[in-house]
């Protein structure tokens, strides 16, 4: 089971001290039942990966530029740079970035660049509320998968994160049956090797009791609640209760 913390644009060097509790907790993971990945802002990737060196907790980034080559792109960071400071994963296609204008084509280039840099990709897909109301969820998911992974031959380093846009930061999670249907549908799109599929959107230490029994889910991508070490640990503990 994956537990991925997406810190979004929160956190500074001091925030890293709060992870001591999670580091301690991660040592109870003797049988490798779970995998913890922290995706902090880019500024914290290096200090965090240093701090986590002797632990099993891994570090990821939240986005990357689409070009594998270095270049004149002010303010941007590419996949090679992220890899060189300790990132092992990168989130690509998050709806907060799609809302800023990232389209499937750009996401596809980013994914290919990340794979070239030997990063594992956490590829976010999900429908908006309007699309859900029009019962277009499966169509949207299929299109995002098809376009995002166009000419990506080896999907073994791809993890899908199903994040319905309407559930992010709203406190609302999908009905168990809808979630089961969407995740099965996503998995059905892959013939050769079925990727891990995570759920993300308002996951917290209360609603995890409803989510953990949907056993088709391979883990969670957690935003707000991941900023509290206590809540994050609680989510992991309750998943296995």
The set of catalytic residues is 94, 163
- Return the number of the residue (83 or 94) whose C-beta is nearest ligand 13P: 94
CA distances (Å), 184 to each of 79, 138, 177, 187, 203, in order?
30, 10, 11, 5, 19
Q: Which of 57, 125, 203, 217 binds ligand 13P (CB under 6 A)?
A: 203
CA distances (Å), 71 to each of 53, 74, 83, 108, in order?
30, 9, 17, 19
- Return the number of the residue (60 or 86) whose C-beta is nearest ligand 13P: 60
Contacts (CB under 6 A) with ligand 13P, residues 13-52 = none
Does position 219 bind ligand 13P by CB under 6 A? no
β-bridge partners, 2: 35, 219
Does position 164 bind ligand 13P by CB under 6 A? no
Q: Which stretch binds ligand 13P (CB under 6 A): 77-85, 101-109, 146-154, 200-208?
A: 200-208
Smallest CA-to-CA distance from 232 within 5, 2, 1 is with 5
Does position 163 bind ligand 13P by CB under 6 A? yes
The full DSSP string for 181-234 is HHHHHHHHT-SSSPPEEEEESS--TTTHHHHTT-TT--EEEESGGGGSHHHHHH
Does position 148 bind ligand 13P by CB under 6 A? no
Of all residues in this chain, which one has the CB nearest to ligand 13P in the complex?
223
The Cα–Cα gap between 67 and 199 comes to 28
The Cα–Cα gap between 31 and 219 comes to 17
Find the shortest distance in angstroms from Cβ 94 to ligand 13P. Answer: 6
Contacts (CB under 6 A) with ligand 13P, residues 81-140 = 94
Find the shortest distance in angstroms from Cβ 214 to ligand 13P. Answer: 17
What DSSP state is assigned to residue 82?
A: H
Q: Which of 60, 201, 211, 219 binds ligand 13P (CB under 6 A)?
A: 201
- Return the number of the residue (63 or 137) whose C-beta is nearest ligand 13P: 63
β-bridge partners, 154: none
CB atoms within 10 A of CB 145: 21
Does position 224 bind ligand 13P by CB under 6 A? yes
Does position 229 bind ligand 13P by CB under 6 A? no
Element (H, E) at 110: helix 104-116
Does position 218 bind ligand 13P by CB under 6 A? no
Q: Which residues bind ligand 13P (CB under 6 A)?
A: 6, 94, 163, 168-169, 200-203, 221-225
């Amino acid at each position: 089971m994956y537990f991925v913390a997406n810190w979004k644009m929160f956190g500074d060097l001091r925030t890293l001290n709060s992870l001591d509790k999670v580091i301690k907790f991660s040592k109870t993971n003797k049988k490798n039942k779970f995998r913890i990945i922290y995706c902090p802002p880019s500024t914290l990737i290096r200090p965090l990966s240093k701090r986590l060196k002797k632990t099993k907790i891994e570090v990821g980034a939240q986005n990357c530029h689409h070009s594998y080559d270095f270049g004149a792109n002010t303010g941007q960071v590419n996949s090679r740079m992220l890899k060189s400071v300790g990132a092992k994963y990168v989130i690509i296609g998050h709806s907060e970035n799609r809302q800023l204008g990232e389209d499937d084509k750009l996401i596809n280039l980013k994914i290919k660049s990340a794979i070239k840099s030997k990063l594992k990709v956490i590829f976010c897909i999900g429908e908006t509320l309007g699309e859900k109301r029009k019962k277009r969820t499966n169509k949207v998911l299929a299109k995002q998968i098809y376009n995002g992974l166009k000419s990506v031959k080896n999907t073994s380093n791809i993890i899908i994160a199903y994040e319905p846009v309407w559930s992010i930061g709203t406190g609302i999670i999908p009905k168990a049956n809808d979630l089961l249907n969407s995740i099965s549908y996503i998995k059905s799109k892959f013939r050769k090797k079925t990727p891990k599929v995570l759920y993300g959107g308002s996951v917290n230490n209360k609603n995890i009791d409803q989510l953990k029994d949907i056993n088709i889910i391979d883990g969670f991508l957690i935003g707000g609640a991941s900023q509290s070490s206590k809540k994050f640990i609680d989510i992991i503990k309750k998943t296995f209760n």
